[in-house]
Chains A and B, each alone.
Chain A
Amino acid sequence: MIENIDLALVNWSRGQFALVALYHWLFIPLTLGMTYIIAFTQTIYVRTGDKEWERIAKFWAKLFGINFAIGVGTGIILGLEFGTNWANYSWISGDIFGAPLAAEGIMAFFLESTFIAVMFFGWGKVSKKFHLVSIYLVAFGASLSALWILVANAWMNYPVGMVFNPDTARHEMVDFWAVLFSPYAINKFLHTITSGFVISSFFIVAVSGWYLLKGRNILLAKRSIVIAASFGLLSSVFLATTGDGSAYWVAQKQPAKLAAMEGLYEGQEGAGLVAIGMLRPGKQIGDGEKAFVFKIEIPKLLSVLGYRNANAFVPGAEDLVLGNAGQDIMSADEKISRGKVALNALAEYKEAVALDDMQSASAAQARFEENYYYMGYGHLFDPNGIIPNVPFIFYSFRIMVMLGFAFIALFLLILYLAVTDKLQENRWLLRTSILAFPLAFLASMAGWIVAEVGRQPWTIQGLLPTMVSTSNINANAVILTFWMFAALLTVLVLAEFKIMTTTIKRGPDNAKKGGENV
């Protein structure tokens, strides 16, 4: 199917996607969450008629606007990058993967872009109620957009609702609802969107906290903190719950990712969860060495979280690579050889069809279908390659989880002190809350690493390896455009930071009227 693999092409293509996604994700969480917070604030204004609430909503909307534009700009690159850099993937998965993207366009993007115009330009021009509804529609549109793109992403991790058509040489959708309502997709959507809510809440808490430290915009800051900390608290609790769901589905569908998350080399029944641990550097699969320098484990918890059963067997990296007959786990070698049978059968089928030899074609097709489940393995050479980078995933996962729990406590504390009006006396907490904003990004990026690096070596789990998913172009073209985007986006992102901080420093009152941008 695909003969020559240029690793430079694969790595730079991954690099380019990661680069743009990294920049994109700096802005999207704020879009996802701030719209709701602005909507809540404006709702209070419409209900009470208290002009201060409107002023608060307007201020956050101004920051939201600066942030939104660059999210849109980086988003279009990602959307088209499936075609430009992952052309093979786009064809092989396009019959399933394209539909959610188009649905996102029709249902979400137009909703966002239409009502964002009302939100920005409608203050005082359209009725208060229509304006408020528009803000909610922008928020809803952003969430809906997240739903569709995460449905597409979930399908890559847990492909469902399709069959492989040897004539067109691609996966074809047979059940739209299975793709949309895949439990993996629902969970991924809820987990990701609430992480956006948490980041947005910290953004507002951090900016407001800075005002309190400076003794400026006190009313705006206090009111904003109450709203954002409440939203953040609810979201962070929900985030932990959906995190549990995520781990469950990873255990069910991506055992190699789970093994990497836990640094689990030898599978065991009643496996414990490593709370804190340090992996032994240089540990290799099957070398008989211990995996950890030290670890503190919560007994049986991994089996409970992954399988809802305290004594369930959790396969480790070695079981998955070397096989484990007792647990009915096939070795990677066996999967690779079955995969090669599938790919050869597909080639024979193609040849037979071209020669109009229907008998050979149907024999080849039967052999292909028998081994179809392993077809992705047919492209692999190294059995160890089915396990993603263990230390990277292991530590990223721990950073995410620890910060996630810390955030719940922090929101609780902030909210308590805000309601009892003791925030200004606790300056250390205000400083911590400012620090929490970048930490929330760190947690979120760590989660992204677990999800996406943890999926390697696959673009479509088990069915299509990353290394055969790229476009068939010269690596130099990808390297050149990588640096082009790196330079461009870095400049734009720096400009955006500068505008953001300048706008925050000036605060809601200091914007000059007329001529100057408000």
Chain B
Amino acid sequence: MFESLTHLQLQHYWWFIMSVVASTLVFLLFVQGGQTLIGTLGKNEDERTMVINSIGRKWEFTFTTLVMFAAGMFASFPLFYSTSFGGAYYAWKIFLVCFVLQAISFEFRRKQGNMLGQKTYEAFLYINGFLGVFLLGAVVATFFTGSEFYRSEYNLSYWQTTLYGIEILFNPLNLALGIALLFLARTLGALYILNNVDHEVIEQRARRQVGLNAVVFLVFFLYFVIRILLKDGYAYHPETFEVYMEPYKYLNNYLQMPAALILFLAGVVLVLYGIGITWFKESRKGIWFSGPGTFLTVLSLFFVLGYNNTCFYPSSYDLQSSLTIQNASSSHYTLTAMTYISLFVPVVAAYIFFTWRAIDKHKINDEDMKSGDHHIY
């Protein structure tokens, strides 16, 4: 069935799948955002416990989606995997530490004998939510701004600075996306908790946080997007594969792919609408708009990044070393095999949807936290 697709079609399909996973991940970062709001939204033990249990029941989805993004990139674009992970070494390693801290913190936080004390585990959750998300944003920004690596004729890559990823922090655009992502996650976290926890005081605080964080998010996001749209981008010639700088590349991509532009505009409108009804109309349903809006916006950014003869992982050191969906991908055979495996994706989405509904039938409230008959973080 899929064997008859061309290699190029399969590469497009897999960039689409990875874009969907990445966009889902960014939406699910509401867990991380929520982790940075634990102390702000919960002023006493009971309140904090409600907040933590609200996001704590979802942390594994974010985590698994992150793992899925990494594994999916390994399988479909292995050259990205080897070049970025093996080059921006420190950035990814610190990122990993942030996620290891998260993996144990929900479970260990209030367990007797946890050695480090409850406050430490809450600090771990904060580090994961703050540093983990910021780093992710900063690294993804290099997909637009470029990294310093050289790729040999054997496709082995050599990072050109011994900072191995720390240099990412020296570029204001990378910083801007890192900060924007952090405050987006916090906005989404507040929106999610507002919807999921049935507690008047927490609701009021969350509403206030939505407004505050959304403002910071918008400032940095607009700065990033405007700069990206106005800057030269890394393009390649579809036949010779020669890489060159094209003025307004990302703006051109939006104009040449109107579907991406529509997704972007729809996404931004939905994000703003969700924030707006929370702020002005006291609605609790903001997450239902801002969440999908986030998904659509990120999806469109990934389309602009990978499609239309664009280098999705450019090298600012040596243009010709830049990675594209064509030179970084797996073989035709492997992408075909993986495409069959991707048929599981809708099945997975369906069972996640139904189990979430089963678990979330009741909102989290005080009483729920005090009943002893199930697992509480």
Contacts and interface: CB of A to CB of B under 8 A. Distances in A.
B68 A109 contact: yes
Given A70-B104, A84-B89, A98-B76, A499 B114 contact: yes
A173 B75 CA distance: 11
Interface string B57-97: 10011011011101110111011011111110110110011
B204 interface: no
Interface stretch (B184-192, B265-273, B287-295, B331-339): B331-339
Contacts of B331: 95, 165, 168, 172-173
B333 A102 contact: no
Contacts of B108: 66, 69, 495-496, 499
Nearest to A494: B115
B60 A83 contact: no
A375 to B, nearest CB: 12
Interface stretch (A38-46, A397-405, A484-492): A484-492
A514 B359 CA distance: 19
Contacts of B71: 79, 98, 101-102, 104-105
Which of B46, B57, B110, B341 is packed against the most chain A CB atoms within 10 Å? Answer: B341
B87 A87 contact: yes
A94 B375 contact: no
Give the secondary structure class of B's interface. helix
Nearest to B121: A495
B371 interface: yes
Interface in B37-54: 45-46, 49
B104 A73 contact: yes
A116 interface: yes
Contacts of B79: 91, 94
B355 interface: yes
B348 interface: yes
B281 interface: no
Interface string A84-97: 11111011001111
A325 interface: no
A256 B49 CA distance: 56
Interface in B340-358: 341-342, 344-345, 348, 351-352, 355, 358
B106 interface: yes
A85 B83 CA distance: 11
B100 A502 contact: no
Nearest to A505: B113
A130 B111 contact: no
Contacts of A115: 355
A219 interface: no
Given A495-B108, A518-B376, A76 B85 contact: no
A504 to B, nearest CB: 10
Interface size class of B (residues with CB under 8 A): 35 or more
Interface residues of A, number: 94
B355 A91 contact: no
Interface in A156-194: 165, 168-170, 172-174, 176
B280 interface: no
B57 A117 contact: yes
B200 interface: no
Given A106-B345, A169-B155, A477-B164, A94 B374 contact: no
A96 B374 CA distance: 42
A350 B330 CA distance: 20
B81 A174 contact: no
A134 to B, nearest CB: 8
Contacts of A75: 67
B375 A99 contact: no
Interface in A53-82: 62, 65-66, 68-70, 72-77, 79-80, 82
A147 B92 CA distance: 27
A1 B82 CA distance: 16
A96 B330 CA distance: 9
A114 interface: yes
B133 to A, nearest CB: 16
B82 A87 contact: yes
Contacts of B369: 514-515
A282 interface: no
A473 B158 CA distance: 7
A456 to B, nearest CB: 21
A109 B64 contact: yes
A83 B97 contact: no
B112 interface: yes
Nearest to A94: B78
A94 B70 CA distance: 13
A176 B46 CA distance: 52
Nearest to A113: B60
B337 A99 contact: yes
A88 B154 CA distance: 10
B103 to A, nearest CB: 3
Contacts of B351: 110-111, 114
Contacts of A116: 60
Contact of A473 (B67, B96, B110, B159): B159
A107 B344 CA distance: 7
A311 interface: no
B74 A98 contact: yes
B239 interface: no
B64 A117 contact: no
A474 B89 CA distance: 10
B171 interface: no
B155 A484 contact: no
A472 B239 CA distance: 30
A125 interface: yes
Given A98-B330, A101-B71, A472 B153 contact: no
A252 interface: no
21 contacts: A69-B107, A73-B100, A76-B70, A76-B103, A101-B74, A102-B74, A109-B64, A110-B64, A110-B351, A114-B352, A121-B375, A125-B361, A471-B89, A473-B89, A496-B108, A499-B111, A499-B112, A515-B49, A517-B109, A517-B111, A518-B374
| 8 shortest interchain CB distances as A-B pairs | A87-B86, A83-B85, A94-B78, A502-B113, A73-B103, A513-B372, A98-B75, A471-B86
Interface of B: 45-46, 49, 57, 60-61, 63-64, 66-68, 70-72, 74-76, 78-79, 81-87, 89-90, 92-93, 96-97, 99-104, 106-116, 153-159, 162, 164, 330-331, 333-334, 337-338, 341-342, 344-345, 348, 351-352, 355, 358-359, 361-362, 369-377
Given A83-B70, A87-B157, A502-B111, 18 more contacts: A69-B107, A76-B96, A87-B82, A90-B81, A90-B85, A98-B334, A102-B341, A106-B342, A111-B348, A113-B61, A122-B374, A471-B89, A472-B86, A492-B104, A499-B113, A503-B111, A503-B112, A514-B371
